[in-house]
Amino acid sequence: MSNSVYLGFYFKVKPLIPAVEILIAELGNAGFESFVETHEGVTAYIQKKEWRDDILKAINCLKSKEFKISYISEEIAQTNWNAEWEKSFQPIVVDNLCVVRAPFHPKQGSKYDIVIEPKMSFGTGHHETTHMMIQHILKNDFNGKSVLDMGCGTGVLAILAEKRGASKIDAIDIDNWCYINSLENAERNDCTNISVFEGNVSLLTNKSYDTVIANINRNILLQDLEAYIHCLKPNSELYLSGFYKDDIPLIKEKCNSLGFKHVETLEKNHWVALKFIN
Ligand SMILES: C[S@@+](CC[C@H](N)C(=O)[O-])C[C@H]1O[C@@H](n2cnc3c(N)ncnc32)[C@H](O)[C@@H]1O
């Protein structure tokens, strides 16, 4: 397991809505990778090796007169993070069909039971975008499909895709922690159809899929959509999340220009998860 050291930033935010959501989006684009919303604001984590002194200067909402945002930061040892997570993590139930739980939670007898030890990876089902992507996977046909899970995080979506019948899944993440964590979680859930890779779109040459799922963020999606769509077959499906309702026109325009039509939107707390087909 990686020995990455993280920096934790404890933001106090007023008013919470909409400032927390804007702050999370901006921090996410700047390289922060995990967020825990608190009753005062949000705690955000970034790998120490990703930190630069000018990162917060680029976060516009910290300068906004509309919001009052203060913060303190500290270095987080990996072991502390795990202990924190164990204390606060509750099982997530999606549409009474799928439970995402930690190894130390008892089994609940749900149709799809997913055991995840996320450590520092995003994807416990607690975030709106993961929750909605799980909903898309639950209500669409994955049987016998070849699937790409881009930005796999903990691997939770790839694992559910296999449980829903996908025959071959490539799960890719740019982050080494996520790569290792997805490998561990795939094994923990007895998945045999998932291959995990560390990297980005450059891994997609000569690949071909029936379905692509990508929960990343607006900017990466806009940048990489062409490469995802390039490896989708005719009559395929594309599920995208990691962005806000306000970003729908941009994402739609890009997908339309690449021959994909928007057919469904799920929305939760201003976050959205869209379905496209060709
Ligand atoms: C919002 S998380 C989603 C995780 C998981 N799929 C879920 O739905 O909970 C986005 C993930 O994308 C990864 N990522 C960011 N940029 C990427 C890129 N260019 N290519 C592949 N993965 C990327 C991050 O490391 C992170 O694990």
For the segment 28-55, what is each residue's pLDDT rounded down to a tens digit?
889 888 788 788 999 998 888 889 999 9
Q: How many structural domains does the chain have?
A: 2
For the segment 138-195, what is each residue's pLDDT rounded down to a tens digit?
999 999 999 999 999 999 999 999 999 999 999 999 988 899 999 999 999 999 999 9
Closest CA to 43 of 51, 52, 34, 30: 34
Q: Whose CA is nearest to atom 7 of ligand 1?
A: 123
So what's the ipTM on this one?
0.99
pLDDT for 122 beyond 80: no
Does residue 105 share a domain with residue 217? yes
Does residue 133 share a domain with residue 258? yes
29 assigned to some structural domain: yes
The whole domain housing 104 covers 97-277
CA of 23 to the centre of ligand 1 (A): 18
pLDDT for 2 beyond 50: no
CATH number of the domain at 61, please: 3.30.70.100
Does residue 78 share a domain with residue 27? yes
Q: How far apart are CA 159 and CA 124, in angstroms?
A: 12
Q: How far apart are CA 143 and CA 147, in angstroms?
A: 10
Q: Which of the four pLDDT bands, split at 50, 70 and 90, describes residue 1?
A: very low
195 assigned to some structural domain: yes
- Is this model's pTM higher than 0.80 or not? no
Domain boundary among the residues 52, 84, 116 is at 84
- pLDDT for 85 equals 61
Q: Whose CA is nearest to atom 4 of ligand 1?
A: 153
60 assigned to some structural domain: yes
CATH number of the domain at 239, please: 3.40.50.150
- pLDDT for 108 equals 86
